[in-house]
Chain A
Amino acid sequence: MSFEVKRKKEVVTEPKIQFSWKEAKRQKSLLIWSGIILIYGIIFYYLPLGGWLMAFQNYRPIDGLFRSRFVGLEKFQQLFSDATFLRVIRNTLAMGVLNLVVTFIAAIVFAILLNEVRNAVGKKTVQTISYLPHFLSWIIVTGIIHDALSGTGIVNDLLMNLNIIDQPINFFAHKEYFWPIVAFANVWKETGWNAIIYLAAITSIDPSLYEAAAIDGAGRWAKIKHVTLPGIRPTIMILLLMNVGNVLNAGFEIQYLLGNGLVQSVSQTIDIYVLNWGISQGDFSLGTAAGIFKSVVSIVLIVIANQIAKRNGDERLF
Chain B
Amino acid sequence: MKAKRVTGMLLVSALSVSLFTGCGGGSGENEDGTKEFTAFFAVPGAEINDDNEIQQIIAEKTGVKVDETWLTGQTASEAVGTLIAGGEYPDFIDGGDAMGQLYEAGALVPLDDYLDDYSNIKAYYSDEEWNKLRQDDGHIYWIQQFQNIKGEEKATTQNDEAFWIQARVLEWAEYPEVNTLDEYFDLLESYIEANPTMEDGTDNIAYTILCEDWRYYCLENPPQFLDGYPNDGSVIVDPDELKIIDYNTTDTAKRYFQKLNEEYQKGYVDPESFTQTYDEYIAKLSTGRVLGMVDQWWNFAFNVHDSLKQQGLDKKGCTYVPLPITIDKGIKNQWHNSGGALNVGSGLAITTSCEDVEGALQFVDDLLGQDIHNLRFWGEEGVDYEVDENNLFYRTEEQRTQAADTAYKASHLCTYSYFPSYKGTSDDGVNANWPDEQPGEFFDSLNSSVQKCFEAYGVDTYVDMLGTNEAPGPWYPMYSFSNAMTTSTPGGVAWTKMGEIKHEYLPRVVMADDFESEWNTYMDSYDGCNPQAFLDEMQAELDRRMEEAAKFE
Binding site for B on A (CB under 8 A): 60-62, 84, 139, 146, 150-151, 168, 170, 172-173, 260-262, 264-265, 275-284
Nearest chain A residue, comparing its CB with the CB of B75: A280
B101 to chain A, nearest CB (A): 4
| Interface contact A281-B211, CB-CB below 8 Å | no
| Interface contact A264-B486, CB-CB below 8 Å | no
A276 to B503, CA, bound (A): 14
Contacting A at CB under 8 A, from B196-236, are 211-212, 216
| Interface contact A170-B82, CB-CB below 8 Å | no
| Interface contact A62-B496, CB-CB below 8 Å | no
B286 to chain A, nearest CB (A): 15
In the A-B complex, the 7 residue pairs with the closest CB atoms: A280-B77, A261-B503, A279-B81, A172-B275, A61-B105, A62-B106, A282-B101
Contacts of B84 in A (CB 8 A): 61, 282
Stretch at the interface among B357-365, B404-412, B504-512: B504-512
A selection of 12 A-B contacts at a CB cut-off of 8 Å is A84-B500, A170-B272, A173-B507, A261-B216, A262-B275, A265-B504, A281-B487, A281-B492, A282-B488, A283-B486, A283-B487, A284-B85
Residues of B within 8 Å of A, CB-based: how many? Answer: 36
Contacts of B212 in A (CB 8 A): 260
A64 to chain B, nearest CB (A): 10
Given contacts A139-B73, A275-B78, A283-B486, contact A173 B500 (CB under 8 A): no
A284 to B486, CA, bound (A): 12
Binding site for A on B (CB under 8 A): 73, 75, 77-78, 81-82, 84-85, 87, 98, 101, 104-106, 211-212, 216, 271-272, 274-277, 280, 486-488, 492, 496, 500, 503-504, 506-508, 511
| Interface contact B488-A260, CB-CB below 8 Å | no
B72 to chain A, nearest CB (A): 10
A143 to chain B, nearest CB (A): 9
Contacts of A62 in B (CB 8 A): 104-106
| Interface contact B271-A282, CB-CB below 8 Å | no
Interface of B is mostly: helix
A70 to B216, CA, bound (A): 38
A261 to B81, CA, bound (A): 22
| Interface contact B486-A282, CB-CB below 8 Å | yes
Contact of B78 among A60, A262, A264, A279 (CB under 8 A): A279
A20 to B271, CA, bound (A): 76
Contacts of B486 in A (CB 8 A): 281-283
| Interface contact A264-B500, CB-CB below 8 Å | yes
A283 to B508, CA, bound (A): 31
Given contacts A61-B105, A84-B500, A282-B104, contact A151 B77 (CB under 8 A): no
Contact of B487 among A84, A265, A277 (CB under 8 A): A277
Contact of A170 among B211, B275, B500 (CB under 8 A): B275
A159 to chain B, nearest CB (A): 15
| Interface contact A264-B106, CB-CB below 8 Å | no
Contacts of A278 in B (CB 8 A): 81
A123 to B212, CA, bound (A): 44
A146 to B276, CA, bound (A): 9
**New contact pairs (5) apart from A260-B211, A276-B496, A279-B77, CB-CB < 8 Å:** A62-B104, A264-B500, A280-B78, A280-B98, A282-B104
Q: Among B81, B104, B212, B503, which residue has the most Cβ atoms of chain A within 10 A?
A: B81
B456 to chain A, nearest CB (A): 35
Given contacts A84-B500, A261-B216, A279-B77, contact A173 B274 (CB under 8 A): yes
A74 to B271, CA, bound (A): 44
Given contacts A60-B104, A261-B216, A262-B274, contact A277 B496 (CB under 8 A): yes
A151 to B486, CA, bound (A): 37
Nearest chain A residue, comparing its CB with the CB of B87: A61
Q: Among A279, A280, A281, which residue has the most Cβ atoms of chain B within 10 A?
A: A280
| Interface contact B78-A260, CB-CB below 8 Å | no
A138 to chain B, nearest CB (A): 11
Contact of A283 among B98, B272, B275, B488 (CB under 8 A): B488
B328 to chain A, nearest CB (A): 29
Contacts of B81 in A (CB 8 A): 278-282
Contacts of A277 in B (CB 8 A): 487, 496
Nearest chain B residue, comparing its CB with the CB of A286: B487
A234 to B409, CA, bound (A): 60
B79 to chain A, nearest CB (A): 9
Contacts of A84 in B (CB 8 A): 500
Contact of B85 among A150, A173, A279 (CB under 8 A): A279
Contacts of B78 in A (CB 8 A): 275, 279-280
Contacts of B77 in A (CB 8 A): 279-281
Nearest chain A residue, comparing its CB with the CB of B101: A282
A150 to B211, CA, bound (A): 16
A244 to B378, CA, bound (A): 61
A61 to B84, CA, bound (A): 8
B507 to chain A, nearest CB (A): 5
Contacts of A280 in B (CB 8 A): 75, 77-78, 81, 98
Q: Among B75, B87, B504, which residue has the most Cβ atoms of chain A within 10 A?
A: B504
A277 to B106, CA, bound (A): 21
Contacts of A172 in B (CB 8 A): 275
Q: Among A151, A172, A173, A282, which residue has the most Cβ atoms of chain B within 10 A?
A: A282
B185 to chain A, nearest CB (A): 21
A134 to chain B, nearest CB (A): 21
| Interface contact A282-B496, CB-CB below 8 Å | no
Contacts of B507 in A (CB 8 A): 173, 261-262
Contacts of B272 in A (CB 8 A): 150-151, 170
B525 to chain A, nearest CB (A): 11
Contacts of B216 in A (CB 8 A): 261
Q: Among A146, A172, A261, A262, which residue has the most Cβ atoms of chain B within 10 A?
A: A261
Contacts of B271 in A (CB 8 A): 151, 168, 170, 173
